[in-house]
Amino acid sequence: PTSEKTARASLEMSLRWGDRSLKRFRELETGNGLFGIVQGGMFENLREFSLEAVSQQGFDGIAIGGLSVGEPKPEFERILNFTAPKLPEHMPHYLMGVGTPEDLMLGVSLGIDMFDCVMPTRNARNGWLFTRFGDLKLRNSGYKDDDRPLDPTCACYTCQNFTRSYLNHLQKANEILGSQLNTIHNLSYYLQLMEEVREALSKDRFSAYREQFHRDRQRGVEPGQD
């Protein structure tokens, strides 16, 4: 963990870069938007200072950076819970580099509008699949003769055409097709998840949806196996 002194110096440099980049961006007249990034490490006072400064720089949107970079989960949640509710309501809110399905659900509940993360594709390459009923690790020998799809509720190409057994074989054989099929599924899962979130928000039933989401995920793909 960095010291508060170092975090403050980095934060002040980021603010200077923000001013310079925004000035040049406006000169280009691209018609696009530019987001400022709230930094400050694990220090709430620095997060608040950064948020106030970035909010006044004139960006089109605002992002929370410097999270999900190896800090313990309780620290991630502490800073997110502290920072997200303070973001300006008139700007789109972006949480950078996040994350697990549970992280996305927490972010949405705190007013986050958009996310980006390598997790769906990186985990897919390693045989780690996300499903409605928890995470599935394809290298588990229990899937060697399992003729079910990854997720019976998923309509993606992988789930509609291939079994856990076949995907287990591809993963253990290090076949590139396995990574491709896994990636199709994980990306489809994330897209479907956020589509359901948007629908729940539009119908004012997000709280109930979130509760069901956690119940489903905690159930597990195969109790006692993953």
Tens of pLDDT, residue by residue over 151-197, are: 999 999 999 999 999 999 999 999 999 999 999 999 999 999 999 99
pLDDT value of position 154: 97
Q: Do 108 and 144 sit in the same domain of this protein? A: no
Q: What is the pLDDT of residues 214-225, one digit of tens each?
A: 999 999 886 445
Domain boundary among 70, 91, 115: 115
Q: What are the tokens at 44?
A: 């709430």
Domain boundary among 115, 149, 173: 115
Q: What are the tokens at 54?
A: 């970035």
Per the model's pLDDT, the better-predicted residue between 1 and 106 turns out to be: 106
Q: Does the pLDDT at position 70 exceed 70?
A: yes
Q: Does the pLDDT at position 123 exceed 50?
A: yes
Q: Is the residue at 27 inside a domain?
A: yes
Q: Do 123 and 99 sit in the same domain of this protein? A: no
pLDDT value of position 226: 47
Q: Do 10 and 108 sit in the same domain of this protein? A: yes
Q: In the block, which residue shows the tokens 């799809």?
A: 149
Buried b (16+ CB within 10 A) or exposed e, 196-207: ebeebeeeeebe
Q: Is the residue at 225 inside a domain?
A: no
Q: Does the pLDDT at position 146 exceed 80?
A: yes
Q: Does the pLDDT at position 18 exceed 90?
A: yes
- SS3 of 61, please? strand
Residues in the chain: 226
The domain tally of the chain equals 2
Q: Do 171 and 103 sit in the same domain of this protein? A: no
Q: What is the mean pLDDT of residues 195-223?
A: 93
pLDDT value of position 224: 41
Q: Do 95 and 131 sit in the same domain of this protein? A: no
Cα–Cα distance between 155 and 117 in angstroms, integer?
Answer: 22
State phi, psi for 160 to the nearest 5 degrees: -80, -15
Which helix H or strand E contains 62, and what residues bound it? strand 61-64
Q: Do 209 and 146 sit in the same domain of this protein? A: yes
Q: Do 107 and 170 sit in the same domain of this protein? A: no
Domain boundary among 115, 137, 169: 115
pLDDT value of position 223: 43
> Residue 78: pLDDT band by 50, 70, 90 thresholds?
very high
Domain of residue 142: give its range: 119-219
Q: Do 204 and 110 sit in the same domain of this protein? A: no
Q: What is the mean pLDDT of residues 134-148?
A: 94
What percent of the chain is helix, strand and coil (3-state, nearest 5)?
A: 55, 10, 35
Q: Is the residue at 31 inside a domain?
A: yes
Mean of the per-residue pLDDT values of the chain: 95
Q: Do 65 and 137 sit in the same domain of this protein? A: no
Q: What is the mean pLDDT of residues 131-159?
A: 96
Q: Do 11 and 107 sit in the same domain of this protein? A: yes
Q: Do 130 and 105 sit in the same domain of this protein? A: no
Over pLDDT 70: what percentage of the chain? 98
Q: Is the residue at 48 inside a domain?
A: yes
Q: Do 137 and 158 sit in the same domain of this protein? A: yes
